[in-house]
Structure 1
Amino acid sequence: MAGVMANPEKLPWTFGIEIEMLFVFDEEKIRTGPAYQYILPEKFVQGDGDDLKTDLDMKLVHNLDDDDVLRKISAMKQAANILRHKGLDLALHVKPNNQNKKFNRWMLTTESHVLDPQDDDQLARWSEGRLQDSEPLSFHGVELISPILDAPNLHSNSQVESMSEIARYANVIAEASTVDEPYQFISNPENAGVHVHIGLRPKDGKQVSIPVDVLRHLAWIIVCFEDVMTLLHHPERHGYGETKITSRSNRTTFGSRQWAEHHSCRALDMEAVFLRIFTKHVTDDQDLSNLKEVMCSTPTTYVHPHYTKFWFVNFFNIKPGPEVAKLTVEFRQHHGTLDANDLREWVIFVTALMRTAERKANESKTKQWKEAAGTPNAELEEKAKYSGMFDGRRTLKELFDLMGLPIERRSYWWERAKKFRRVVFTLERDYDALVLCLGGCGDRPQRDCEGWAHGELDLQPW
């Protein structure tokens, strides 16, 4: 049952990672270079788990004709040939989301949200100077999807096997993209993203729902500390207009019915947010439905369907249903990268968030509360676990203390936050001049945490 909380802080957490990339190749060089003949699509050997079928939906959604589909299949075969030749074991799926629901092996599939460069200058920047001329090149968005892997331990100094596997795949792909090859795999903040799904280990071949009490605490932490966590990311992932992840704040559903207007125009009533998240119903199924509504709903005037999967943290999959392939929470805010250490730290961080939510859900109620008018006593008892978090400006230290991050983890994220604050004012783009609000106000962002103003990141968060 979703609400059962046996064995406190011992839930068997698992994760899966999705790495978006732009596959860039020069087909003429591949065809004329003897050393690259293995890459040719006609050299592709279909194996167990490969799925090259397409359907009418793929053509309609992505506005493809038959020739487009053939080109896409040809490109995917070449990408798979390269990665298999480099020693990576993976299945090829041409159709997006046509995934093996057992998630028991690595998969390579198409990804329509990966961006192509708009000009040669952008191509050179994205490829760190390795590519200069886009004219002879072909571009295809791809996504590498991991199997279900065991989540890492926050306090362990040794890498679990799953983290070593992530590093191996990322390093092989990064090392395959060298200046001497007629192909590149490009994943960076401007063109791609990294998504991490966190769930529970399947039991008896079936998926297991995350307890709703854990999900409530996670939702509260996500909304309460959103601006703090946004500090940790590249400005392309801050939600500014005209960036890679425009207007994806989880706070959208709590504010104005105009698209994201509340985030930059007015502060949220955090007590009201808390009570919406912790509203209890008769059954776990009703609780899951309500929490999904709270965390995934959109202003229907602007967006269809009513639920969205595209917020920074996606709660769409928390309730079993025909459209849910995996019972997980999906963390979508991280920028595209093939840096194995960055991928590792992000997986550790989001796993720590889940374990923090689990711990808070199991934390004993140390204070007795009297019944308040219109407010169930149980909700007030949950609120007591977050004393001092309803007023004032939150900090990195407050979040890290809540999560129990060790010094080495805090140091990594502190340095990263400082690096990305410097990126905000780069010559290529003045991110500080961009807005979050798409409702027409034109106001600059108003963040509810320290770290966004000059000097506020100088103090060590420990």
Structure 2
Amino acid sequence: MNQHPRRPAPLQTDICQHERPESSHSQHSVRQRSHLDTPVSSIYSPPLYWRHFLSPPRQGQQEQQHQHQQQVMSLTFGIELEYVFAFDLNPRVGFEWMGTDGMTDKDLFGHDDTGSGDDFALSSDQESESSMDWESSEPSEKTEEHNDDDDVHHRRVVVVSRTDRGRSNRHQNARIGLPSATMFLTQSILENSGLECTVGERGYGSWNIQVDGSIDEPEKLSKYIPDRLDAEDEGDWVVSGQELVSRVLTAPYEFLSFDVFRSSDALREISSYLEALHGKPKDPFGVFVNESCGFHVHVARKPPPRQDSSSSSSSMDHSDDDDDDDDDEMIPLPILQHLAYLLVQFEELINVLHHESRRCRSDWDSHYVQTNLMGIRRSSHWCRHNVESVDLIKAQKKIFHKDMTPSGLAKLMDATLRPKLDGSGNLVLETRYKFVNFEPLTYQGGAKTIEFRQHIGTMDFDEIAHWTHFTLCLVRTAERMALCGGDQQFGVNDSPCSPSSSSPDHLPVSFRKKQANKYRLRCAKLQDEFERMYDLLEFDEDVRGYWRKRFVRLNPAEGFRVGKDQNGVEYILDEEDRCPSCM
């Protein structure tokens, strides 16, 4: 057998076993195909969508500064505040503008007045008179279902006796009102402060109040708003879970200094709405949050101006005329890929910067915030190390795959291992309820946003400002890492795995590896790993100080445990009794 002079015998034998007859013409035809179709280029060359992203078409001669502005995105964002709204049915003089005087029990609680002269207003499906204890002062309960889009919300309406509108029932709990009535009271409060707001509408052109059935409304109000009422006054108050959705707000351009961001027009607008809802001490209304509430931030790309458009459109209010327009208004896929890779690297650290109930550490935690790592992890056990080196290799292969699409990335980052049921037995749609929700990327003609859902509910301006700043910095970092080349790594040129240091002969490095090499290797010490994350996000010392203090506050020393893997790398240890897969 004559062997090829340049080919080893074992390899020749292996190839001959799978050899198919080829002519010189067939070989020539293969060479005429695009080099992107060859195995080598599929590994080492950027995919087509990356080439378009890195080298956008230019129109004529432009100044250098304008060329740079073409590459950096203009971002918009919006916030969603979940809270409990409470108000007094009998406000003092001066608050007639709230509009509570004209409200009936049917308006507030959905039950009809019997007209029989008694002091109970019962709905048609309420218990009959023979089954009621008419002398009892304890409230009766019923359950109503309200359908809001795809969610089924179970609400309890507590019906209490009262002799007249002007005299309250002492030592009774607050009642849960229907959102159809209570949302308009919230609107009146905002409009009384000169703020525009709509009720129950879709879209992001203005601030909007919506119903949220996932919120648990407590009946004991005095511990939440002690400056508004005493325990004996609670029978006069009504509560309702609500969500305030902001209009589209513009993020500062490029570098996100927190001081600049905090004083921006967008944050001042948010502050004005918070002040109006909080009111003043002794006001007959108030807002508060509990562990069932969440605070969500949507981040989107501001659509580039269109030459033939006569009016501007918001980044969250898209036209569905064609898919190309939607793609133009979406955050570019390479940036989304780096955002996903950032989340894989740092989810463990970001977790401990949040309230324990928002960490997805057990079946008792919130069903509405789940990990983004189920499509990446080797195991569903939380008691084991979150992201191991093998998982990062898997993440590189999956996230930076040459055939990746926005919908494919959304499926990867929103993957789930098993369905869950909420307290009412309803199936929780986990593809949506993730720390970071990529599902809007799959919407046709909808809002192409990234939704950060992990933060617990808050009405505190500083917390809102810092977490919104954090999310925007994540997106800006992903953009920066996507745009930089392997030899321009923004302070990570000394990475041991960077192409420049891998070999003096500059051996070829796969495209996915080139993207991963833009980041430093994981630090052995958790403290150093936090600093690596802060460096990437370009946090100044004051911002780092805020997050360090927050970490200490949310992670008491007696409950925070650190383990080490076989290589001595520290990781946050979760006990087996809190691991869903161990139970």
Same fold? TM cut 0.5 = yes
Paired AA for residue 350 in structure 1: T
Selected match of 1:82 from 176, 189, 197: 189
- 2:268 is the counterpart of 1:164: yes
Selected match of 2:464 from 315, 335, 343: 343
Separation in 2, partners of 1:423, 1:71: 43
Separation in 2, partners of 1:9, 1:291: 22
Which residue is equivalent to 1:195?
296
SS of the residue aligned with 1:397? Answer: helix
- 2:247 is the counterpart of 1:147: yes
Separation in 2, partners of 1:424, 1:24: 36
Deviation at 1:377, TM superposition (A): 1.3
Deviation at 1:355, TM superposition (A): 0.5
Deviation at 1:40, TM superposition (A): 2.0
Selected match of 2:370 from 248, 265, 272: 248
The aligned runs of 1:300-339 (5 Å cut-off) are: 302=420, 308-321=431-444, 325-339=446-460
Deviation at 1:256, TM superposition (A): 6.0
Runs of 5+ unmatched residues, structure 1: 45-54, 427-431, 443-462
| Alpha carbons of structure 1 residues 396 and 435: separation in structure 2 relative to 1, 3 Å | farther
Runs of 5+ unmatched residues, structure 2: 1-47, 57-67, 104-145, 160-174, 307-312, 319-325, 422-426, 488-498, 561-573
Paired AA for residue 35 in structure 1: G
- 2:121 is the counterpart of 1:14: no
Deviation at 1:25, TM superposition (A): 2.1
Selected match of 2:515 from 382, 385, 403: 382
| Alpha carbons of structure 1 residues 64 and 301: separation in structure 2 relative to 1, 3 Å | closer
SS of the residue aligned with 1:291? Answer: helix
Deviation at 1:410, TM superposition (A): 0.9
Separation in 2, partners of 1:146, 1:211: 24
* Greater length-normalized contact order (CA 8 Å, ≥ 6 residues apart): 1
Selected match of 2:152 from 47, 56, 61: 61
Separation in 2, partners of 1:42, 1:237: 40
| Alpha carbons of structure 1 residues 246 and 262: separation in structure 2 relative to 1, 3 Å | farther
Paired AA for residue 80 in structure 2: E
The one-character-per-residue Cα deviations of 1:73-107 (angstroms, maximum 9, x if unpaired) are: 111111211221122211111xxxx512xx12111
Deviation at 1:62, TM superposition (A): 2.6
SS of the residue aligned with 2:451? Answer: strand
Separation in 1, partners of 2:480, 2:472: 12
SS of the residue aligned with 2:303? Answer: coil
Separation in 2, partners of 1:356, 1:386: 11
Selected match of 2:217 from 100, 111, 116: 116
Separation in 2, partners of 1:74, 1:423: 46
Deviation at 1:240, TM superposition (A): 3.7
| Alpha carbons of structure 1 residues 199 and 225: separation in structure 2 relative to 1, 3 Å | same
The aligned runs of 1:444-459 (5 Å cut-off) are: none
The one-character-per-residue Cα deviations of 1:156-186 (angstroms, maximum 9, x if unpaired) are: 6432211111122122222x163x1232211
Instruction: Select the structure of larger CA radius of gyration.
Output: 2
Selected match of 2:414 from 273, 277, 296: 296
SS of the residue aligned with 2:375? Answer: helix
Separation in 2, partners of 1:302, 1:70: 29
Deviation at 1:212, TM superposition (A): 0.7
Separation in 1, partners of 2:293, 2:348: 21
Which residue is equivalent to 1:287?
405
Selected match of 1:221 from 342, 354, 364: 342
| Alpha carbons of structure 1 residues 291 and 58: separation in structure 2 relative to 1, 3 Å | closer
Which residue is equivalent to 1:185?
287
| Alpha carbons of structure 1 residues 292 and 341: separation in structure 2 relative to 1, 3 Å | same
Moved more, 353-362 or 313-322: 313-322
Is the 8 Å Cα contact of residues 20 and 192 (structure 1) preserved in structure 2? yes
Deviation at 1:217, TM superposition (A): 0.7
Deviation at 1:69, TM superposition (A): 12
The one-character-per-residue Cα deviations of 1:216-235 (angstroms, maximum 9, x if unpaired) are: 11111112101211222222
| Alpha carbons of structure 1 residues 128 and 414: separation in structure 2 relative to 1, 3 Å | farther
SS of the residue aligned with 2:95? Answer: helix
Is the 8 Å Cα contact of residues 239 and 436 (structure 1) preserved in structure 2? no
The one-character-per-residue Cα deviations of 1:289-312 (angstroms, maximum 9, x if unpaired) are: 221110112225558687611111
User: How large is the RMSD of aligned CA atoms in angstroms?
Assistant: 3.6
Paired AA for residue 395 in structure 2: V
Separation in 2, partners of 1:435, 1:146: 40
Deviation at 1:9, TM superposition (A): 5.8
Is the 8 Å Cα contact of residues 2 and 210 (structure 1) preserved in structure 2? no
SS of the residue aligned with 1:365? Answer: coil
Which residue is equivalent to 1:99?
202
SS of the residue aligned with 1:386? Answer: coil
SS of the residue aligned with 1:297? Answer: coil
SS of the residue aligned with 1:251? Answer: coil
Separation in 1, partners of 2:368, 2:444: 28
Paired AA for residue 537 in structure 2: M
SS of the residue aligned with 1:400? Answer: helix
Separation in 1, partners of 2:460, 2:98: 25
Moved more, 194-203 or 34-43: 34-43
The aligned runs of 1:122-137 (5 Å cut-off) are: 123-127=221-225, 130-131=228-229, 133=231, 134-137=234-237
Paired AA for residue 288 in structure 1: P
Which residue is equivalent to 1:52?
none
Separation in 2, partners of 1:129, 1:435: 40
- 2:404 is the counterpart of 1:262: no
Is the 8 Å Cα contact of residues 105 and 146 (structure 1) preserved in structure 2? yes
Identical pairs, percent: 25
Separation in 1, partners of 2:558, 2:195: 36
Selected match of 1:234 from 347, 355, 362: 355
SS of the residue aligned with 1:310? Answer: coil
Is the 8 Å Cα contact of residues 23 and 183 (structure 1) preserved in structure 2? yes
Is the 8 Å Cα contact of residues 369 and 453 (structure 2) preserved in structure 1? no
Separation in 2, partners of 1:341, 1:313: 21
Moved more, 137-146 or 4-13: 4-13
* Residue-pair matches, total: 399
Which residue is equivalent to 1:173?
277
| Alpha carbons of structure 1 residues 330 and 127: separation in structure 2 relative to 1, 3 Å | same
